[in-house]
């Protein structure tokens, strides 16, 4: 395995990590519904599964920047994630027990991606601009494989066995993590961490995180209830899995061509397109709940609402934060994701029956437009080099 090129090893870990996500996100809430939880409970449990993003990523980022052992943290967290799915068969099937399990799961889950993004950017070195999208697309492929494979399996077996599938994939991710060493270009253990606040005060950085919050607030009902929403409108498990996969295929295509867009257009113009596409996406999800074709087209907008925005965010973060700050910078990006999705999930779950799922998605889409209030902080022109990379 050690003879495999580094970009392939990095891509392999993204594959297994997102295969877990592709197994969890579309089907976990269906599992909860099968176990007797209602929409209000599911909304709270979804928020709990995300709520540790308020603090866990920053804790892990601080430890990573302090110790310089990012891959060690990834391995520990992946191992603990596998253990959580084993524990689900040993605890009572009640709200309090599942809530505790989700808290533990998300605490370790949130340790993985932020630190592995930093590992990837360090490992790719000067080729990160050209190769990041090609490496990251393997995460999207893993998501698709997880969605399709699990969707097909759940047509045969009971959804109550979903944790077994999650356990198997998490264990594979843990084994694969040993193929990736600590990046040599990453900073070593630091006695004194460089302050983040001066960077966070920069208008481009502050605006990025504010825009990210509203983008994710709008996407929260999708992440928490889209599968339940489709099922309520007559879609089969296979059709639900297919629609989730369509979004990720669009994401893969965007990762392949994002470098062209980033070279050709300004960050500001691209983010405006991302915000408008996200708003349109969820308005039509709510407006046409019974149309497979419209749902498919809305899912293709994931290329902009996640794929392109994520690539821009990674570029801004790596250009504006020093290498010694990357662990914590990625953690803040992850924290803002959690803040937006957790708040949106709580609100969507609480008001689902009051306003109906259709209205919730339309309101979510319109709420995304608040992100445009912060677009002025994003520069019309951006640098093509990283002032902190040396």
Domains and CATH numbers, the chain: 7-377 (1.20.1250.20)
106-130 per-position pLDDT tens digit: 888 877 877 888 888 888 877 776 7
CB neighbours (10 Å) of residue 171? 18
| pLDDT value, residue 21 | 87
The span from the CA of 359 to the CA of 294, in Å, is: 17
Low-confidence ranges of the chain (pLDDT < 70): 1-2, 49, 129, 185-194, 381-390
| pLDDT value, residue 113 | 78
The span from the CA of 200 to the CA of 209, in Å, is: 9
| pLDDT value, residue 117 | 82
174-209 burial string, b = 16+ CB within 10 Å, else e?
Answer: bebbeebeebeebbeeeeeebebeebeeeebbebbb
| pLDDT value, residue 185 | 63
| pLDDT value, residue 1 | 43
| pLDDT value, residue 388 | 43
Residue 371: DSSP 8-state: G
CB neighbours (10 Å) of residue 379? 14
- Report which of 146, 147, 139 is spatially closest to residue 241, judged by C-alpha positions: 147
295-332 per-position pLDDT tens digit: 999 999 999 999 999 989 988 988 888 777 777 787 78
From residue 51, how far is each of 66, 90, 220, 313, 337 by CA, in Å?
24, 24, 12, 21, 10
The span from the CA of 217 to the CA of 361, in Å, is: 11
Which residue reads 């445009």 in tokens? 372
- Report which of 180, 189, 202 is spatially closest to residue 329, judged by C-alpha positions: 202
CB neighbours (10 Å) of residue 350? 14
| pLDDT value, residue 224 | 83
| pLDDT value, residue 385 | 42
| pLDDT value, residue 389 | 37
Angle formed at CA 368 by CA 362 and CA 374, multiple of 5 degrees = 160
| pLDDT value, residue 189 | 52
């Amino acid at each position: 395995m050690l003879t495999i090129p580094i970009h392939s090893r990095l891509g392999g870990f993204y594959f297994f990590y997102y295969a877990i996500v592709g197994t969890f996100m579309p089907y976990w809430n269906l599992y909860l519904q099968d176990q007797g939880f209602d929409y209000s409970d599911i909304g709270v449990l979804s928020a709990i599964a995300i709520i540790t993003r308020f603090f866990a990523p920053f804790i892990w980022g601080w430890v990573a920047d302090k110790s310089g052992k990012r891959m060690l943290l990834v391995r520990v967290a992946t191992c603990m994630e596998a253990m959580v799915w084993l524990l689900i068969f040993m605890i009572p099937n009640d709200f309090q027990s599942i809530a505790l399990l989700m808290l533990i799961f998300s605490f370790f889950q949130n340790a993985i991606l932020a630190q592995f993004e930093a590992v990837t950017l360090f490992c790719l070195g000067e080729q990160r601009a050209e190769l990041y999208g090609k490496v990251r697309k393997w995460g999207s492929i893993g998501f698709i494989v997880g969605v399709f494979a699990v969707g097909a399996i759940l047509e045969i077996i009971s959804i109550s066995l979903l944790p077994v599938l999650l356990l198997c994939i998490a264990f594979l991710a843990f084994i694969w993590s040993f193929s990736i060493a600590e990046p040599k270009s990453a900073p070593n253990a630091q006695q004194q961490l460089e302050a983040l606040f001066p960077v966070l005060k920069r208008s481009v950085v502050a605006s990025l995180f504010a825009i990210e919050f509203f983008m994710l607030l709008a996407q929260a009902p999708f992440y928490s209830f889209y599968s339940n929403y489709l099922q309520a409108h007559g879609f089969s498990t296979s059709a639900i899995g297919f629609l989730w996969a369509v979004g990720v295929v669009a994401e893969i295509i965007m990762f392949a061509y994002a470098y062209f867009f980033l070279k050709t257009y300004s960050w500001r113009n691209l983010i405006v397109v991302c915000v408008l596409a996200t708003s349109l996406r969820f308005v039509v999800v709510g407006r046409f709940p019974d149309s497979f074709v419209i749902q498919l087209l809305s899912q293709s907008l994931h290329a902009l609402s996640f794929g392109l925005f994520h690539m821009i965010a990674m570029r801004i973060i790596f250009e504006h934060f020093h290498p010694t700050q990357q662990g914590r910078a990625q953690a803040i990006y992850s924290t803002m994701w959690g803040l937006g999705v957790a708040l949106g999930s709580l609100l969507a779950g609480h008001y689902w029956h009051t306003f109906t799922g259709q209205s919730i998605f339309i309101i979510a889409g319109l709420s995304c437009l608040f992100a445009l209030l912060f677009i002025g902080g994003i520069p019309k022109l951006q640098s093509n080099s990283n002032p902190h990379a040396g």
